[in-house]
Amino acid sequence: MAGKRKTTTSSGTASSKKPKRVAADEEVFPLNGEEEEVNQVDEQGAKMSSHVKPHSQRNENGRGRSAKNAASEEESTKNENVNGDVSDEDVPEARFVSAPVPDEEARTRWPHRYVKKTNKQATGSKSSNTKDDSEEIIPARCHYIQAEVDGRFIYNLYDDAHVKAEDGEDSYICKIVEMFEAIDGKFYFTAQWFYRAKDTSIKHAYDMDKKRVFFSEIRDDNPLDCLVEKLNIVKVDLEGKKAKISSCDYFCDMLYLLPYSTFVKLPPENTTISNESSSTLSSDDDMNEVKSSNDTYHKSEVTLLDLYSGCGAMSTGLCLGANLSGLNLVTKWAVDLNKYACESLRLNHPETEVRNESAEDFLLLLKEWEKLCIRFLLITSSDPEKQQSYPFDLEEDGDDQDDDDEDGNDDEEAFEVAKILQICYGDPKDKGERGLYFKVSWKNYGPEYNTWEPIDGLGNCQKAIKDFVTNGYKSRILPLPGDVDVICGGPPCQGISGFNRFRNRNNPLEDEKNKQLIVFMDVVKYLKPKFVLMENVVDILKFADGFLGRYAMGRLIEMNYQTRIGMLAAGAYGLPQFRMRVFLWGARPTEKLPQYPLPTHDVLVRGVVPVEFDSNVVAYDEGCVARLEKKLFLEDAISDLPPVENNEHRDEMPYASDPKTKFQRQIRQRKDELLDASLKSKSSQCLLYDHRPLELNSDDYQRVCRIPKKKGANFRDLAGVRVRPDNKVEWDPDVERVYLDSGKPLVPDYAMTFVNGSSSKPFARLWWDETVPTVVTRAEPHNQAILHPEQDRVLTIRENARLQGFPDYYKLCGPIKERYIQVGNAVAVPVARALGYALGMAFQGSANSEPLFTLPKKFPNIVEQISSASSEDDA
C-alpha cells in the first residue's frame, strides 16, 4: 500500500548492511523507555538500518574488536584501576587517565548507562518493544573524560579521531561523545560517526574534496583500543569562507541523515554538557547561524523558473500548492525546446516569459545578458570576464542611421532600426554562426520584414540596443543571478531509457542524451536560486547503480545546497494512475529544506523500485495507522465526459452533463476557483477542451471494434488466437486466420510476438474499476492498454489529461500527437501541488526538520474546509 512502507534491509547508500551495535554479554540492562532520549538518534539509525555502511562493523580478527570479542580476550589485557600503581611494562594499551566523573553528574549526563533491571527483564522475557541483542545498552560502572591509547595519544571527550577499520579500508572517522568503564571492567568509547562522500548516497558519482566529511546522528559503542589517532576536524559555514581548511585533517559543513538521503546544514553549536544527545564539533570557527532571508525580506511575488517546462504542469501544480500555503509563487520564466509545448504554456500562463530554445542556449544567453546589463551600468560586477567589450561602445549614444558615403551618393537604400524586439543566443538563421542575436524591427517596414541580426552587425544601433536592454532589465525579461527564488525542472535523460540499446553503463554522463542533467545543474549554479526541485523517472536511481541520481545530489551538495531525494506515486495524491517519479529537493543554507508530503490516498504502489533506494519511497512506516481516502479508478475521472467517435475533430464542445464524482467537480474548477475555493463553480457554463482521440487508421479501427466491451478484453479475444497453459499465445490451428478489408490480418503478427507472446496489452481495453499504470506519450494501441472501456477508440487527450490531474481549463496547442506527448511527459499536477504546499511552508520558515509531513485534511480543498467549519461555528 502507498500508505504502508515495508521495512527493508537495503538502502540508497554505500552499504546494505544493518548498523551493528556493540553489545555486552549477559549483564546488560535494557534501556528504560522513559530515559530513551539520549539514545534516540542511535535507534533511528537502526530503524533506517541500511542507508550507510556502518563504521562500527569490523572484522572479528581484524583491526577492530566488538564488545563480544573483547569479552573473550585474556584477563591480562584488562586495564588496571586508574588510581593503582602500574609499572611501565604493565601499562595497558588503552586506559583512562582522568579521575572518574562524579557519580551524580555521570548519572545525569548518561542516565541510560545506569538503569537497573526490572524483574521481567531479569527473567529474560521480552515485550514487543524490547530491542534485540545488537541494540542493548552496555551498563556503566563509571565515566571518564580522558583516555590514553597505545601510549601515543591522549583523547579527551569530544575529540575527533580515526578508528580502526577492516583490513584494506580507510580508517573510520568519529567524534568521541562518551567514555566509560562497563560493569564487567571493559573500557569503551561511544563514537558519533563522520562519513566520507563515498560512504553516503553520493558514492563515487561526484568527486568531492577528499577532506570534506559529513557528520551524522549515528552512534555506537566500541572498545577503547580501537582508537587510532587524534584528528583536527574543522567546522565551516556553508555560506562562508572555508577558513583554515588547508591546515586541518578534514572539514565538515553538513549533516548527513539517513532518511531520504538527506544532507542539511549543521545545527548550531551546543556546549551544554548536560545535554549529551546534542552533538558538538571541534572547530576554530564559530558557526554563524544565518537567519532565514524571509524573516527580514518579504515581497509580494516569489519567482519561479521552469526549465524543460513542457506545457507547464509542474510549475502549475507548484504555484497552486504554494498559494494554498499562503505563498504567492509565480512562474516568471519557462524554457522548453518543444514549440508546441511552449505555445500551450504561453496560452495558459500569459504572465510567464516563455522561451522556445534549448537549455544550453538559455544559459549562454543569461551570461551575455548579464554582461550587457553591466556594460549599460544597470548592475555592477567586479568580475573582469563579465566586462566584455562588444564591437561598439555601449556606453555612449550614437546615431542609429547609416552615414551617407563620402561622395554623398544616397542611391543605395538605407535600413534604419526602429526597435529591438527580442534577444536570443544561437543561430536563428541556421547558418552555424552561433552567438548573440537581436530580432530587429526596421523603420518604415512591416512585421513581415523583421529579421534576426547578430550583435556584431548592429554596431551603429547602440541606442536601440540600450533601450531594449534597459526596458528588459526593468521588466525582468531574463533573470540575473539572485533574481530566481525557485528553479524546477525535469531534465530529459533519454540515455537511460530501456528503449536505448546502446546505453553507457560505465559513465552515463558521457552519453549526449544524458547531458541535460549537467546543463540543469549548471543553470542552478549560475542563478543561485533559494530552492531547487528536480523531477525524473525512477530509472535515474536504477540505471548504472543510480549514477545519475547520485550525481545530481553531489552537484547540489558541491554548490552548498541542502538536499534530500524521494519517490512519490501519483495515485497516492488523488489520481487514478500509479506513476512513480523521483523528486530531488535542494535548498540554500539560509532556508528550510522542504519536506515530502505523505500520501492522501490509499493506493498500491506498482513498478520496480530500486533496491538501494527502497527506503526513499514517500510512504507511511509499516504499522502506522493512517486515515487515507480510497484510491481512485478510471470511472471516477472520466465517466462524466460526453461520448465521442474515433473521428472526432472538435477541439471544443459542451460538457453535456453534470460532474458525477468529487474528482470531476474539482477537475472542472476554473483557475480562479482553484486559487480561491470559496468561489462558486461556474463549470457548467464552460466549454470542454481537447476531448478528441487520435484517429485510428481503418485497419486498427476495425480491430478495435471487434474487441469485446468487457474487463480484461484485448487481442487475445479475437478469432484465431489461443492461450496456452503458460499464458502465452499461439495461433489456433482449428480456426482459419481472419483478414480485414485491406487484406491485412485481423490479428497482426507483432501482437502475437510482443514480449515473447506473454503480453496482454496489445489492443487492450481499460476498465472502469481499474487504476491506470501510467499515462503514455503515444496513443497507438499496438502495445499498451489505452482503449476506452465502452467506446471504440483510444482515450482522448482530455481523458489522459485528467489522469494526469490537469484542470479542465488547461487548453493544449499543436497537432494531436503533440498534445498527447505534452500530457504524457508532464508531472502529475496533484503531486506538484502537494510539493508546492511543502515548498510554501519551507519558504515561509514553517517546515520542521523531519523529511515527511502530513497535508491538511481534505487537501487541496482546505479553504473550502475552513469556510465550512466557520459556517458550522456560526450556526
**Beta strands 172-182 and 160-163: pairing type?**
antiparallel
Helix H or strand E segment including 40: helix 40-47
Cβ 617 vs Cβ 581: under 8 Å: no
Distances (CA, A) of 138 to 22, 54, 127, 184: 8, 19, 19, 10
Residue tagged active-site, from 493, 686, 705, 813: 493
CB atoms within 10 A of CB 270: 11
Distances (CA, A) of 611 to 6, 79, 206: 12, 45, 21
Distances (CA, A) of 64 to 70, 133, 139, 179, 384: 10, 19, 21, 17, 54
**Beta strands 417-426 and 172-182: pairing type?**
unpaired
Query: Three cell numbers at 630?
Result: 480510497
Which residue bears the cell 466491451? 709
Helix H or strand E segment including 551: helix 547-558
**Catalytic-residue membership of 342:** no
Cβ 537 vs Cβ 589: under 8 Å: no
Distance separating alpha carbons of residues 324 and 556, to the nearest angstrom: 28
Cβ 569 vs Cβ 579: under 8 Å: yes
Bridge-partner residues for 154, per DSSP?
A: 148
Distance separating alpha carbons of residues 436 and 369, to the nearest angstrom: 9
CB atoms within 10 A of CB 80: 12
Cβ 618 vs Cβ 595: under 8 Å: no
What is the phi/psi pair of residue 13, to 5°?
-140, -155
Nearest to 327 by CA among 859, 849, 848, 845: 845
Amino acid making up residue 760: S
Query: Three cell numbers at 180?
Result: 566509560
Distance separating alpha carbons of residues 666 and 677, to the nearest angstrom: 10
Distance separating alpha carbons of residues 173 and 826, to the nearest angstrom: 44
What is the phi/psi pair of residue 311, to 5°?
-90, 5
Q: Residue by residue, what is the 3-state secondary structure of 790-819?
A: CCCCECCHHHHHHHCCCCCCCCCCCCHHHH
Cβ 49 vs Cβ 57: under 8 Å: no
Helix H or strand E segment including 315: helix 313-324
Annotated active-site positions, please?
493
